[in-house]
Amino acid sequence: MKLNKPSFAKKLTASYLFVVAVTLLITGFYLTHRLKATFLSNVEQSLGAQAQLMRDLLVPVISHPANKQAPHEWAHQLGSRMGCRVTVIRADGAVLGDSERTLDELANMDNHGTRPEIQAALASGTGESLRFSRTLNENMLYVAVPVVLYGSARPWGVLRVALPLTEVHRRLSAFQNDLLKAGVAALGVAFIVAFIVTRRTAQPLMVLAGTAQEIGAGRFPREVALHSKDEFGQLARAFSDMSGRIEEKVKELSQERTQLSAILSALVEGVVAVDHEGRVLFLNPAAEKLFAVSSQDVMGRPVLEVLRHNAFQEVIHETLRHRQPVSHEIAIHSPQERTLMVQALPVSYGEDRTGVLVALQDITELRKLERLRQEFVANVSHELKTPLTAIKGYVETLLDGALEDKAHSREFLKIIEEHSRHLSLLIDDVLDLSAIEARRMEYHFDAVSLADITAKLIKGLAPMAKAKDIKIDNQLSDELPRVRADRAKLAQILMNLIDNAIKFNKAEGHVEISAVADGDHVSISVKDTGVGIAPEALPRVFERFYRADKARSHEIAGTGLGLAIVKHLIEAHQGTVTAQSHPGQGSIFTFTLPRA
Ligand code: ADP
């Protein structure tokens, strides 16, 4: 892993260099200062010693002067020999000799009586002064000693020795130069040392920082490449352990997460999780389907915005408000009409936060089935009641005396027989239907010849057809492929359809039975020239107890269950059934069966 240039190492190097530079600077200043003082005091001392020596040489020259210029010549001589300025000054301040001046210039020189070193020498024995010489135009160090002639108590004058400070400065700046060079060298060495030391210190930190970044990025190095025995080594080992443990924990968590999400995805129930602020945290595929939304779009958004179903939101709010489980049956109207059983549980998480976990069970089918069952029971009761009431009525009439009336009693008994037959038919159909719907019906599939079965059925129905003067035209030939069917059930299907075609036909009408092989199916049609079915009634004729023509249903004995049974039976054969009709002209019922 590439790390940015470690600013820590830079800072450390800079700190080292700063400390070294400051130390050097302070030492330099101090040394220069001290050295300057030492230089000056040395020069002062040696000038003092020279002055005293020269004074001894000056006394004879003053006491027995060869001529008037003798002090001046002496000053020149000594000055050039000693390499310094030598000035002879009388006690009244008059300059009698100066090594740096000619005789003519001497005459124009100031009275030196006011010079501090002269006054000090006359007063206390020696005088020193560091100041600018107007005569020579430079800084000079002056040392003056009083000159006392033999046998005299008062000083005759003063001998002054002076050295320009240029020399002192030259030596000092040479020293400063050396010091600067040494400083630069020291800084260079310090830089190299600092570089090495900081690299050594920063290297383990870089390694540890790199490892921490790797862990952060989800890679978990098992070993940190740092093997020192110091604290960094210990830290590295702690890092490796920690990395291993985090990896295990992350694996465990992701495994749990995968399992959980597999379970939630497989659940038929919808699951929705909402946080304490009513924002969607999670939605399983079943819930996505129920609300026709995608998890990605709704995640993190307020439930109010994304799942706009008042009843559902109310359940969530109630749960958030009371922190109690809430369970409600609600109806949603989009994307589909659905009835849902919503169970919401408050779930605590974080610090005093409560979200909601909602389970949604789609009970639309359940409720529909319940409704159908209730309707069915009501319908069956109603259908049973009609013939039973009639039977009861006629039996009572017979018992009340009609039995004696031979002519009527026979008619009444016939009616009673008719209703009993209807009752028995109704009960048979209801039993059949409930057996089919409860999947208790057994099927024995065989390769069956449609022509054979139909021919036998038509024979049985012939008297009924004859009574209405209806002609049955059976077009099924023996060449027709056999179908895979349960013989008895197929007979029941055909019986119902042909029976209807006769029942709902007109006098002198026709019934035509035909079939055609269509791919792996055989398609069979029963066509009549009867009353037909109104278009609005057509889709409902396969419903239980549905009768298209209520007025005629009393005249024509029927249970209203025949076509419902037919549809179930055909579907159990992997076939389909459809009805077409032209009211007043006739109907065609077509069904398919698989080829054997
Ligand atoms: P039903 O016992 O009344 O015949 P079905 O379930 O067999 O009961 O038929 C339901 C209704 O469909 C009938 O009452 C009738 O109104 C209508 N129907 C069925 N077959 C025909 C047909 N061939 N022609 C006209 N109407 C029919």
Three-class HEC string of 318-351? HHHHHCCCEEEEEEECCCCCEEEEEEEEEEEECC
Q: Are 502 and 560 members of one domain?
A: yes
Taking the CA of residue 563 as reference, the ligand 1 atom at the shortest distance is: 6
* Coil vs helix vs strand at 582: strand
pLDDT number for residue 554: 55
Which three-class secondary structure state does DSSP give residue 432? Answer: helix
State the chain's maximal CA–CA distance in angstroms. 207
What is the rounded average pLDDT of the residues 546-562? 73
Closest ligand 1 atom, CA of 559?
Answer: 2
Q: Ligand 1: which of 500, 525, 533, 549 to mutate, judged by most atoms within 8 Å of the beta carbon?
A: 500
Instruction: Indicate the residue among 200, 232, 266 that finishes a domain.
Output: 266
Instruction: Compute the distance from residue 500 Cα to the ligand 1 centre, in Å.
Output: 6
Classify 144 as helix, strand or coil. strand
Same domain flag for 401 and 489: no
pLDDT tens-digit map of 18-31: 988 899 899 888 98
From the alpha carbon of 565, which atom of ligand 1 is closest?
Answer: 6
Q: Which residue do the tokens 């077509």 mark?
A: 590
Same domain, 105 and 152: yes
Domain C-terminal end among 340, 362, 384: 362
List, edge to edge, every strand of the sheet that includes 157-164: 95-98, 85-90, 157-164, 138-147, 127-133
> What pLDDT does residue 3 have?
46
Q: How far apart are CA 359 and CA 362, in angstroms?
A: 10
Residues 278 and 426 in one domain: no
pLDDT at 12: 80
Asked if the structure places residue 73 within a domain, the reply is yes
Residue whose CA is at the smallest distance from ligand 1 atom 23: 501
* 495 and 510 both lie in a single domain: yes
The average pLDDT across 278-284 equals 92
Which pLDDT score, from 0 to 100, does residue 551 have?
61
Q: Which atom in ligand 1 lies closest to the alpha carbon of residue 542? A: 6
- Cα of 478 vs centre of ligand 1, distance in Å, is 29
- 312 closest CA partner among 298, 326, 299: 326
Rounded Cα distance, 61 and 77, in Å: 12
Who wins on pLDDT, 312 or 552?
Answer: 312
Q: Are residues 17 and 59 in the same domain?
A: yes
Rounded Cα distance between 512 and 303, Å, is 61
Residues 298 and 346 in one domain: yes
Nearest to 188 by CA among 176, 177, 180, 199: 180
Question: In terms of domains, do 161 and 76 share one?
Answer: yes
354 with 371, same domain? no
Average pLDDT of span 91-106: 91
* 160 in the same domain as 104: yes
532 Cα to the center of ligand 1, angstroms = 9
For residue 4, report the distance from its CA to the centre of ligand 1, in Å: 87
How close is the Cα of 455 to the center of ligand 1, in Å?
A: 22
- The domain that holds 485 is classified in CATH as 3.30.565.10
Q: Which atom of ligand 1 is nearest to the CA of 429?
A: 2
Domain extent, residue 473, equals 442-594
Could you tell me the distance, in angstroms and rounded to a whole number, from the CA of residue 504 to the centre of ligand 1? 7
Q: Which of 436, 451, 466 is the last residue of a domain?
A: 436
Tell me how many domains the chain contains: 5
Give the distance (Å) from ligand 1 centre to CA of residue 499: 9
pLDDT value of residue 356: 95
Is 164 a residue whose pLDDT tops 90?
Answer: no
- 395 and 502 together in one domain: no
Q: Do the domain assignments include residue 132? A: yes
Q: Please calculate the CA angle 20-21-23 and round it to the nearest 5 degrees.
A: 65
Residues 549 and 531: beta-carbon distance below 8 Å: yes
DSSP secondary-structure letter at 595? B
Least confident residue range of 303-307, 364-368, 512-516, 566-570: 303-307
Where residue 131 sits, what CATH number does that domain have? 3.30.450.20
552 CA from centroid of ligand 1 (Å) = 10
Instruction: Report how far residue 184's alpha carbon sits from residue 189's, in angstroms, rounded to the nearest whole number.
Output: 9
pLDDT at 136 over 60: yes
Supply the residue whose CA is at minimum distance from atom 20 of ligand 1: 500
Residue 210 resides in a domain: no
pLDDT digits (tens, 9 = 90+) for 57-86: 999 998 888 888 899 999 999 999 988 999
* Whole-structure pTM value: 0.52
1 — pLDDT class (breaks 50, 70, 90): very low
Which domain CATH number covers 408?
A: 1.10.287.130
pLDDT digits (tens, 9 = 90+) for 466-509: 999 999 999 999 899 999 999 999 999 999 999 999 999 999 99
The whole-number pLDDT of residue 38 equals: 86
Whole-number pLDDT of residue 4: 52
Mutate to test the pocket of ligand 1, among 502, 505, 511, 547 (most ligand atoms within 8 A of CB): 547
Please give the Cα distance from 51 to 157 (Å, whole number): 13
Shared-domain flag, residues 168 and 240 = no
